[in-house]
Amino acid sequence: MHRTDSALWPATLDHLRLDSPDPQALARFYRDVLGMAPAVLSEDLVLAQGPGRRLLLGRGERGHHPFSAWRIEHADQLAALRHRLEAAGVPLLQSPTPLFEPGAVAVRDPDGRLAVFGLPVQMGTAASAASTRAAALPARLQHAVVATTQLEPLRTFYADVLGFAVSDTVLKSQEHEPPGQAHVHFFRADPEHHSLAVFTGTSARHDHHCYETTCWNDLRDWLDYLGDLDIAPWWGPGRHGPGHNLFFMIKDPDGNNIEISAELEVMTRVQPPRQWPNSRRMYNHWGTSWVRA
Ligand SMILES: [Fe+2]
C-alpha cells in the first residue's frame, strides 16, 4: 500500500536530460519532428521545448540519461519532502537543472541517476522556431522508463524512500529463473498510472520517454504527420496491458526510443499495486511484444 504520509504526491514529470555527442544535431530532430524549439543554454546544453513538453539535451555519451525532474505543486510541499528525506538520512545533492527554482531537491538512485524535485521556471519561448504542424499536435511529456540490473533496490528507493506508489508489477515468465519474481515495476506520484517504470535488463540504461496525447485521434494525426516526414513507427500502434494506453514508438537519431501515447489509465492515490503475468498480450494486447534485454 502506498504511504499517504509521503510529501511526494502530487509530483509530475517535468523534464529529463538526455546526452548526445552532438546535442545541437539532436535538438534539430526534436525541433523538426516533435515541434520543440531549441534554445542554446550553453555550448554543451540545449533546451528543447514545445507545448507541454521540454527536454534538456546535453553533451555526453549517446543515450545517457543523467536525471529526471518532477515538478512539485508548491514550496510547502517541497519543504516537506526535503524534511522527510533529511530525516531518513538520504544525501541531498545540488540540483543539476536550470529549469527549476533554486532549492530543488536532488537525490541519487542506486543506479547513479538523479531524481530531482522542484518548482518549475519557464525559460525561453516555446515553438516559434519549431515545426508549427508538430507543435500543434498534443504531446505532453509524461513518463520515462529505464532498465536496471538491480530492480528491487530501485523499487525500495523510489517507493519506500521517495514515496512513489507502485501501480503494477509484471512478473518474470516461466523461461526465467526463478519465475514469479518481479520483472517490471510501474511507479506513479500523481493519478496517472506511471511517470517512471523500471525493468530488469542486462545493464542500467535509458529505455524510452513518452508523450501523452488527448485521444486516439491524436495518434492518427501524429502518424499522418510522421508519414509525411517518411518516419515509420518501429513498434505499434498497439495497446499496453499495464496502464492500458494506446501507443506507438519511433527513434531519434541517437537511437533513443520515443513513445506517443493516449488513454493512459488513472488511479487513486491509495489503489493497491497489481500483478501481471509476463506475456505477449501484457506488452501489446493488439500485436507483437517487444522483448528487451
Ligand atoms: Fe512507455
Mean pLDDT on 263-287: 92
42 Cβ partners below 8 Å, 6+ apart?
none
Q: Is the per-residue pLDDT at 126 higher than 90?
A: no
- State in Å: Cα 208 to ligand 1 middle: 7
- State in Å: Cα 88 to ligand 1 middle: 31
- State in Å: Cα 17 to ligand 1 middle: 17
- State in Å: Cα 246 to ligand 1 middle: 10
- pLDDT band (50, 70, 90) for residue 71: very high
- State in Å: Cα 260 to ligand 1 middle: 8
C-alpha cell at 191: 493519478
- State in Å: Cα 210 to ligand 1 middle: 6
Please tell me the distance from the alpha carbon of residue 290 to that of residue 282, in angstroms, as a whole number: 10
- State in Å: Cα 235 to ligand 1 middle: 12
Please tell me the distance from the alpha carbon of residue 120 to that of residue 8, in angstroms, as a whole number: 15
102 Cβ partners below 8 Å, 6+ apart?
95
**What pLDDT, on a 0 to 100 scale, did the predictor assign at position 6?**
80
List of domains in the chain: 11-118 (3.10.180.10), 137-283 (3.10.180.10)
Mean pLDDT on 85-101: 97
- pLDDT band (50, 70, 90) for residue 222: very high
- State in Å: Cα 48 to ligand 1 middle: 20
- State in Å: Cα 205 to ligand 1 middle: 15
The answer to whether the beta carbons of residues 202 and 221 sit under 8 Å apart is: no
Q: Is the per-residue pLDDT at 147 higher than 80?
A: yes
Mean pLDDT (the chain) is: 93
**What pLDDT, on a 0 to 100 scale, did the predictor assign at position 94?**
97
Count other C-beta atoms under 10 Å from residue 251's C-beta: 15
Q: In what order do the strands lie in the sheet with 105-108?
A: 37-42, 45-50, 53-59, 11-20, 67-72, 114-118, 105-108
- pLDDT band (50, 70, 90) for residue 125: low
